[in-house]
Structure 1
Amino acid sequence: MAGWKDGSVQEKYRLVVVGGGGVGKSALTIQFIQCVIDERPARLDILDTAGQEEFGAMREQYMRTGEGFLLVFSVTDRGSFEEIYKFQRQILRVKDRDEFPMILVGNKADLEQQRQVTQEEGQQLARQLKVTYMEASAKIRMNVDQAFHELVRVIRKFQEQECPPSPEPTRKEKDKSGCHCVIV
């Protein structure tokens, strides 16, 4: 584990962005960012799967290594919305789990005139999949960082349930500001 400014241990998370072709996965992805999320430093190793939609074996490989998944569809493309269920089922099958850290992201939310999927439909699917739903726009940088941060929170919660941390005194971070994202 890499250290942080004050010598505290830094957590690293491997996040995978999945979704159909043309939903804006590349635009959402910021490779390897470091930030402070809820006062805890984290390094995000973000894998963008753009261009790999048709390679089933490759998709299974990144699904095996991912610790959390952004299920991305475009609100302007109903077909990409309908594909999400397939991606979610495949992740759970590869992980051999009933649940796993994921959030649902409706991208291209700035294109209100071309919208084919309503916010209510996105929320309904999220409830069905038991995940958080967020709408984002990579173009106007709306909810992009927030989506990755929310996913890290879901992963942390999941990992704490899997193996509760040993009781030790919690040390407050010196730096309490929201997020400093640094592309490295």
Structure 2
Amino acid sequence: MGHTEQWRITMLGDGGVGKTALAVQTYDPTIEDAFRHSVIVDDEMTYLEIVDTAGQEEYATLRDQWIREGEGFILVYSIASRRSYDRIKTFQDSIMRVKRGARPVFMLVGNKCDKAAEREVSKEEALSLSRVWGCPFMETSAKTAHNVERMFSDTIRTLRQARDGDSYARPRTAAGAGGGGGGAPERRKRRCVIL
């Protein structure tokens, strides 16, 4: 409890899927921006550097550098864009290529879940992909802030598990459903506070 940890999380995905909006809750087009937050997860202070990357193809040459420097990755697509979901494999392939030999920590995130009427990617399809990849999955909305704090706190927990040698390749049972239900009760309530 006395030490402070620091993690660098890189957000990858097509342009326009809401990476910046998730990082700062306001949209501002970027090539790369790093946002720093002090976060308390499970009663431990964590300094979080969130690298927001441009998703456009013209910045693909910078992608390897962003991946090389990242410790954890959030792969973001829009639930209202089949194209952004289909392209997410390109970003995952890049992570696996650059981090070759390592077991990178990443999370699959379907953003814009507030646009349910425009949905082009089902939650079940993305959950199935996350199981294949062995990574957590959840749906978020930067517009309503649904699951945004949880996305970062769960990524930090997964990074800690990987660091400590715990098995982290199993998707969570709640898998972004946005609520509890099922499973054994937790011993203590976990919270994420962004300061």
TM bucket (normalised to shorter chain) is 0.7 to 0.9
- Name the SS for the 2:164 alignment partner: helix
- Name the SS for the 1:105 alignment partner: strand
Structure 1 residue 84: Cα displacement:
1.2
Aligned to 2:135: 131
> 10, 15, 29: which is aligned to 1:16?
10
CA deviation map 1:68-99 (0-9, x unaligned): 00000000000110111111111011011363
Asked which structure has the greater RCO (Cα within 8 Å, sep 6+), the reply is: 1
- Return closer, same or farther for 1:52/1:14 CA change in 2, 3 Å cut-off: farther
* Partners of 1:14 and 1:45 within 8 A in 2: yes
Code of the residue aligned with 1:158 in structure 2: it is A
Code of the residue aligned with 1:82 in structure 2: it is D
Aligned to 1:101: 105
* Partners of 1:52 and 1:58 within 8 A in 2: no
Q: How does 1:12-161 map to 2 (within 5 A)?
A: 12-30=6-24, 31-50=35-54, 53-97=57-101, 99-161=103-165
- Name the SS for the 1:161 alignment partner: coil
Using structure 1 for the length normalisation, give the TM-score. 0.83
Structure 1 residue 53: Cα displacement:
4.2
Structure 1 residue 109: Cα displacement:
0.3
Deviates more, 1:96-105 or 1:152-161: 96-105
- Name the SS for the 1:84 alignment partner: helix
Structure 1 residue 102: Cα displacement:
0.2
- Name the SS for the 1:12 alignment partner: strand
Q: State the aligned residue count.
A: 163
Give the 4+ runs in structure 1 shifted more than 2 A.
50-54, 176-180
Structure 1 residue 55: Cα displacement:
1.7
- Name the SS for the 1:103 alignment partner: strand
Code of the residue aligned with 2:108 in structure 1: it is L
Deviates more, 1:128-137 or 1:24-33: 24-33
- % same residue: 39
Structure 1 residue 147: Cα displacement:
0.5
Q: What 5-or-longer segments of structure 2 have no aligned partner?
A: 25-34, 167-188
Aligned to 1:179: 192
Q: Distance in 2 between matches of 1:21 and 1:56?
A: 12
Q: Distance in 1 between matches of 2:12 and 2:85?
A: 12
Q: Distance in 1 between matches of 2:153 and 2:3?
A: 18
- Name the SS for the 1:110 alignment partner: coil
Code of the residue aligned with 1:22 in structure 2: it is G
* Partners of 2:9 and 2:50 within 8 A in 1: yes
Q: Distance in 2 between matches of 1:11 and 1:152?
A: 10
Using structure 2 for the length normalisation, give the TM-score. 0.79
